[in-house]
Amino acid sequence: GAVVSQHPSRVICKSGTSVKIECRSLDFQATTMFWYRQFPKQSLMLMATSNEGSKATYEQGVEKDKFLINHASLTLSTLTVTSAHPEDSSFYICSARAPWAGTDTQYFGPGTRLTVL
Amino acid sequence: GESVGLHLPTLSVQEGDNSIINCAYSNSASDYFIWYKQESGKGPQFIIDIRSNMDKRQGQRVTVLLNKTVKHLSLQIAATQPGDSAVYFCAENSGSARQLTFGSGTQLTVLP
């Protein structure tokens, strides 16, 4: 149980285009999902908290107009990188908080490697 | 600001030996800690967690120790195997949204 998927696993795009990344909880419902970014040899940095049915909460320094988050259902959150530039190239990872009581555990997706040319 | 950090960025151990990965945290209000394993090009994989009302928790071949007095967390892996080679992150739960704050990670390499 507690499987989280991401699609696509890898994407290459031209500078100036937009890219959508999907995060799905496959066997549980998640009212809260999280989006992280990870640069090579670095730790995971939280970008935003995605709550089903409400606006996402962005971390300081993360542009909400550039990284659009939509959490339209209890099993799906999407991250759209708008007008992507080479500096946006990174490993994007989502997680979903386990819904069962008594735990704050987050289960992570396999990540999406974004390369902007 | 508050942060979670690791003492050692790299650790090499012989196959079959025990591994100990350490983590220091600074937020005394944190009450939940998790260890994750991340293999190259993959997302973090949950290993074991511990709440602040405990000082030790054991899983399959892994043990997490929590010392709240010195704000120290450790992950012990028994009989380390080649498949254990990965980056290990500690994380603490913080904030009103119960967000995770990750440490900088330790690269564990298991030598044959």
Q: Looking at the predicted structure, is the pLDDT value of residue B3 above 70?
A: no
Per-residue confidence band for B6, with pLDDT thresholds at 50, 70 and 90 = very low
Q: How many CA atoms lie within 13 A of B91 on its CB side?
A: 29
Please give the torsion angle defined by the CA atoms of residues A88, A82, A105 and A55, in that order, rounded to the nearest 10 degrees. 140
Q: How far apart are CA B36 and CA B42, in angstroms?
A: 12
| B1 and A CB contact within 8 Å | no
Report the distance separating Cα B92 and Cα B78, nearest Å. 23
In degrees and rounded to multiples of 5, residue A86 shows phi and psi of: -55, -35
Residue whose C-alpha is closest to residue B103's, from B111, B94, B95, B92 = B92
Cα separation, A28 vs A99, whole angstroms: 8
Q: Which of residues 59-88 of A touch B (CB under 8 A)?
A: none
Beta strands in A1-117 (DSSP E): 4-7, 10-13, 19-25, 32-38, 45-51, 57-58, 67-73, 76-81, 90-97, 106-108, 112-116
pLDDT in tens, A89-111: 999 999 998 777 566 788 999 99
Residues of A in contact with B93 (CB under 8 A): 104
Which parts of chain A have pLDDT scores under 50? none
Q: Tokens 């300081």: give the residue.
A: A60
**B102–chain A nearest CA distance, Å:** 6
pLDDT at B92: 92
CA distances (Å), B24 to each of A18, A32, A46, B88, in order? Answer: 39, 27, 19, 14
* pLDDT tens digit sequence for B25-48: 888 888 899 999 999 999 999 999
Tens digits of residue pLDDT in B59-77 = 999 999 999 999 999 999 9
- Secondary structure of residue B23 in the 3-state scheme: strand
A104 at the B interface (CB within 8 A)? Answer: yes
Task: Dump pLDDT digits (tens) for B78-103.
Answer: 999 999 999 999 999 876 667 888 99
Q: How far is A42 from chain B (nearest CA, A)?
A: 7
Q: What is the pLDDT of residue B110?
A: 97
Whole-number pLDDT of residue A54: 86
Q: Is the pLDDT of residue B7 over 50?
A: no
pLDDT at position A1 is 67
Strand A112-116 with B10-14, pairing:
unpaired
Peptide linkage before A8 cis (omega within 30 of 0): yes
